[in-house]
Structure 1
Amino acid sequence: MPEATKDGLRDARAPARTGAPGGGTGPAERGRPLLVYAVAAVSALGGLLFGYDTGIISGALLYLREDFRLSSREQEIVVGVILVGAMAGALLAGRLSQRYGRRRVVMAVAVVFGVGAVAAAMAPDTLTLVLARFVLGLAVGGASNMVPVYIAEMAPPEIRGRLMVLFQLMVAIGQLVSYLCGWALAGSGGWRMMFGLAVIPAVVLVVGMAMLPESPRWLVEHGHREAARAVLARLRRPGEDIDAELGDIAAVSRGEGRGGWRELRRPWVRPALVVAIGIAAFSQLTGINAIVYYAPTVLADAGFGDSVALLTGIGIGVMLVVAGVAGAVLVDRVGRRRTMLWFLPGSGLAMAVLALAFLGDAGSAVQRWTVVLSLFAYILFNGIGMQAVVWLIGPEILPLSVRGPATSLATLSVWGFDLLIAVTALTAINSIGRSGTFFLYALMNAACIVFVVRKVPETKGRSLEEIERALRSPGPVAAAAR
């Protein structure tokens, strides 16, 4: 294959413009300012809060349903309302970030996280808990929208992938911590402390973000070029051509102006929007959060016992962290698209085995081990092949002028389909059984593979401005994938 494709994105096997071949650690990473890693580490605490607040309901639900006498439908509402809030938060954060900046919005999100956590911990009844989880959803949606954008706009191209995947890794760590807290605080009333503990990382996030700079791309877009140069000087190694990067950002910003929702209808933007929304949808339709939210409940109802179900949940959390670490390495070494194509087949196969396991001899040792191991395999493969990429693709491929509203739309899609899964999973299990439900998710994994093959380009090692220029050039954006 030639070095460059028709639309300007080089083949994934070609070395990046800077950095070590294949995006690995090499001389290009030595001497990089610590601020680059501080930006990713501090802002990714939003991912930890996101993971904790979405994952804690898994353990809490076992006791909430007893304390508040919740039906299956009411359980789905308690789980799902945070996703309704996340949809609203994603839309609101995108609009606010265009006006006030990425950093300020992340700080506001941290405050909302803290308020929601306190309200959920003190909830005296179901209605108050539902409202508190809606507030938490606003913060979850804002974090999932803005943190990846903030990191993408600050990071050097050659390590952008792994820094952005740190967000997903922190989501996984947050989910693991939530499972551990669910196990440690098991018992009636322990769910209040489970919710309240989220205040601690929320405070750390507010303080940490107060010490970080604003995105240089947002500064250029709003006419603060000298401030943007000062930020880039702190983020790049000595000797790097800051003026060239600043010129690229300014040229893209001048060429398009400030975009809004109407700009999303432009033909040259549409291929990127299809990719971002498609990956967002499949990240949920492949079944990950049906497992994260309901695995302990499903296992307990299947006769595994509450303690075994909670311990299995901890194992799922461990797999999520392992997947996050592996994904952080692979997206820059082998590429985003290839990572998906390597691991999604294993995700679909593991889900199919899980479905078959529930057709087997209920209660036997073989059936129980098959269920647990296929759950762990599914989480590992889906976590690497899909969850490590979902928060990376959108901010990379969407143009600067519409990045706020477009990432809001992609994030809205994540939470919309997540909500669909949350409010239908138990109902589907009651209607078509565990096997039928998990077979359906296996089919969604297969459909996702087809979508990636046909639509998703490789963005490894390219600057955001290079990707945007490729979108504007003749030919489909997926030419890079071919």
Structure 2
Amino acid sequence: MKKSTKKYLIYFFGALGGLLYGYDTGVISGALLFINNDIPLNTLTEGLVVSMLLLGAIFGSALSGTCSDRWGRRKVVFVLSLIFIIGALACAASQTVTMLIISRVILGLAVGGSTALVPVYLSEMAPTKIRGTLGTLNNLMIVTGILLAYIVNYIFTPFEAWRWMVGLAAVPAALLLIGIAFMPESPRWLVKRGREHEARQVMEMTHDKKDIAVELAEMKQGEAEKKESTLGLLKAKWIRPMLLIGIGLAIFQQAVGINTVIYYAPTIFTKAGLGTSASVLGTMGIGVLNVIMCITAMILIDRIGRKKLLMWGSVGITLSLASLSAILLLAGLSASTAWLTVLFLGIYIVFYQATWGPVVWVLMPELFPSNARGAATGFTTLILSATNLIVSLVFPLMLSAMGIGWVFGIFSVICLSSFFFAAYIVPETKGRSLEEIETHLKKRFSLKKRSKQNQILKQRTL
């Protein structure tokens, strides 16, 4: 097998967990239309079927990071692929609402685990110059999985075959299980374990020969300076600002309202005069737009940089949601205003999926030292899943209490806050190796701390 073919297979299978996350998140919207035919659901149990995936994801995120730091990225991916298969088949075979909810929790464990682990694996496998591009592959796989779910829903809707919709997730999960044969262990994890020769062999598959010695030396130097355990690192004062930045990125990625916009899109399409089947096609159109903008992000991220993309994204999503809110509050959603809302909905998705959607997955693992990268990324992904869960539970309550116009207005204020967070808090990591980023951030926050201590001492001596 050619080196280039093997390299692309490593990247493809490394990111395949993202596709499973997207599919399992997107497919339930179509399946819910017909589950009630076999398993009676009320408003509460329907909400539980949807949200229990996110609850499972919270625990999966927390566990996978620590486990991957201890046993390696590859072994944890193997376990996650088995959980994906079991969860998907259990959902398809469910005969009671309790069994269905438990199956969704099991599936959530794999979803959370993959969202925490895939960005870490891709960032550690990638050469420095294309790390951003490769990191966005995770988000491309997520939105491709969502689009695939929409297509499967559309195909099986005439047959009301919800069991096939949810059960087909086992196919890409089985592909991931087979693909593990092509996935080597992360070279940074191998160096951490003193297996330098194996790390070099892995890097020969993915890196240019002239870059291997330099990057390997940086990894060894970084590991030689680290004496603390993972838990000790996470407790260290100098890493707290990085954790807070990671938490902020995770919260803003979900709190700017992307899932609520997509949730409300079919209503807007229907008001625009489209029939039910046309509304489903409109939702598929959103899925296609997601994929296109994700590819755009892959092209831009290593050229423009993470920070600038986030700032431009914040401007775009703020203006589009503020415009949506103004239209809905002043004129309401009617046939005459619906197409205008469709336009701003499209603008919002374009800006989000080219910026905040993929960039956060790239930045989160870049922020943390290798000894704690899995655990720290797992923790921030846990926060992301928890925020997603809270927004999905609070959104219907807000919608019934104040209407969609005010809801979009509140989200536009959160979007505006994300601009200031990106502009003043988020560091730029473009063009730096993971070890260089770690050294830079450690110096930056250590200097800030020393500067603060000096100011306090000066005040005391006056």
TM-score, with length taken from structure 1 = 0.87
Q: Does the 8 Å CA contact 2:269/2:342 hold for their aligned counterparts? A: no
* Counterpart residue identity of residue 426, structure 1: P
- Is 1:122 equivalent to 2:93 in the alignment? yes
Q: CA deviation at 1:234?
A: 2.5
For the pair 1:381 / 2:351, whether they are aligned, the reply is yes
> Is 1:94 equivalent to 2:70 in the alignment?
no
Q: Which amino acid aligns with 1:286?
A: V
Residue of structure 2 in register with 1:21 after alignment: none
CA distance in 1, matches of 2:37, 2:275: 15
2:179 counterpart of 1:208: yes
Work out the CA distance in 1 between the residues paired with 2:445 and 2:333.
Answer: 56
CA deviations on 1:296-332 (whole Å, 9 max, x unpaired) are 4786699965324322211211121112111111111
- Whether contact under 8 Å (2:313, 2:352) holds in the other structure is yes
1:154 Cα deviation after fit: 0.9
Give the direction of change, closer, same or farther, for the CA distance of 1:363–1:147 in structure 2 (3 Å limit): closer
CA offset digits 1:41-78 (Å, max 9, x no partner): 11111111111111112222333456645444433222
- Given candidates 236, 251, 257, the residue that maps to 1:287 is 257
3-state secondary structure, aligned to 1:214: coil
- 1:464 pairs with 429, 434, 438, which one? 434
Match of 2:111 among 130, 135, 140: 140
Letter in 1 for 2:204: A
- Alpha carbons of structure 1 residues 222 and 351: separation in structure 2 relative to 1, 3 Å: same
The whole-number CA distance in structure 1 between the counterparts of 2:397 and 2:405 is 13
1:434 is aligned, of 401, 404, 411, to 404
Cα distance, 1:190 vs structure 2: 2.3
* Residues 329-344 of structure 1 aligned to structure 2 (within 5 Å): 329-344=299-314
Amino acid across the alignment from 2:343: L
Moved more, 167-176 or 33-42: 33-42
CA contact (8 A) 1:259 1:401 kept: yes
| One-letter amino acid of the structure 2 residue matched with residue 196 of structure 1 | G
Moved more, 339-348 or 240-249: 240-249
Asked if the contact 1:40/1:164 (under 8 Å) is kept, the reply is no
Equivalent residue for 1:316?
286
More displaced 10-residue stretch of structure 1: 392-401 or 294-303: 294-303
400-409 or 359-368, which deviates more: 359-368
* Aligned-residue identity in percent: 38
Q: Deviations over 1:121-159 (max 9, x none)?
A: 122232222111111111111111111111111110000
Q: Which moved more, 1:257-266 or 1:326-335?
A: 257-266
Q: Does 1:160 align with 2:131?
A: yes
Instruction: Say which of 173, 180, 183 aligns to 2:151.
Output: 180
Q: 2:220 aligns with which of 245, 250, 253?
A: 250
2:295 paired residue among 310, 313, 325? 325
Q: Within the alignment, does 1:41 sit opposite 2:12 as a pair?
A: yes
**1-structure distance, mates of 2:242, 2:219:** 19
Rounded to whole Å, the distance in 2 between the matches of 1:172 and 1:225 is: 36
How far off is 1:163 after superposition?
Answer: 0.7
Structure 2 residue corresponding to 1:404, chosen from 374, 383, 396: 374
Query: Which residue does the alignment assign to 2:78?
Result: 107
- Greater Cα shift, 181-190 or 169-178: 181-190
Match of 1:58 in 2: 29
Please state whether the residue corresponding to 1:461 is helix, strand or coil: coil
Structure 1 residue aligned with 2:451: none
Alignment-mate amino acid for residue 141 of structure 2: M
Does residue 83 (structure 1) correspond to residue 24 (structure 2)? The answer is no
Report the aligned-residue RMSD.
2.3
- 2:400 counterpart of 1:421: no
Inter-partner Cα distance in structure 1 for 2:270 and 2:390: 23
Describe the superposition over 1:135-194 as per-residue Cα deviations: whole angstroms up to 9, x where unpaired.
Answer: 111111111111111111111000011111011001111111111222222257322211
Q: Does 1:277 align with 2:244?
A: no
Structure 1, gaps ≥5 residues long: 1-30
- Distance verdict in 2 for CA 1:283–1:65, change over 3 Å: farther
Aligned partners of 1:295, 1:319: CA distance in 2, in Å? Answer: 13
Aligned amino acid, residue 211 of structure 1: F
Instruction: Please give the per-residue CA displacement for 1:257-309, whole angstroms capped at 9, x wherever unaligned.
Output: 35323422322212221221111110000011223455447866999653243
Residue type of the alignment partner of 2:121:
Y
Does the 8 Å CA contact 1:65/1:75 hold for their aligned counterparts? no
**Higher deviation after alignment, 167-176 or 290-299:** 290-299
Q: Cα deviations across residues 207-240 of structure 1 (Å, max 9, x unaligned)?
A: 11222210111011112122112212222223x1
What whole-Å deviation, never above 9, does each CA across 1:393-448 have from its counterpart, x for those lacking one? 01111111211211111110110101111112222211211112221111111111
Q: Could you tell me which residue of structure 2 aligns to residue 365 of structure 1?
A: 335
Q: Distance in 2 between matches of 1:349 and 1:65?
A: 39
Residue range with higher mean Cα deviation, 268-277 or 136-145: 268-277
Residue in 2 that maps onto 1:266: 236
In structure 2, C-alpha distance between the alignment counterparts of 1:339 and 1:293, rounded to whole Å: 25
Structure 2 equivalent of residue 452 of structure 1: 422
Aligned amino acid, residue 436 of structure 1: W
Whether the 8 Å contact between 1:116 and 1:133 is mirrored in structure 2 is yes
Partner of 1:443: 413
Distance of aligned partners of 1:128 and 1:115 in 2 relative to their CA distance in 1, 3 Å threshold: same
Contact 1:114–1:198 (CA under 8 A) maintained in structure 2? yes
Name the SS of the counterpart of 1:223 in structure 2. coil
Does the CA contact (< 8 Å) of 2:187 and 2:202 recur in 1?
yes
Q: TM-score, normalised by structure 2?
A: 0.91
The one-letter code of the counterpart of 2:13 is: V
| Structure 2: tracts of 5 or more residues without a match | 449-462
Q: Give the partner amino acid of 1:264.
A: L
Q: Which amino acid aligns with 1:186?
A: T
Structure-2 change in CA distance of 1:448 and 1:65 (3 Å): farther
Contact 1:64 1:191 (C-alpha < 8 Å) held by counterparts: yes
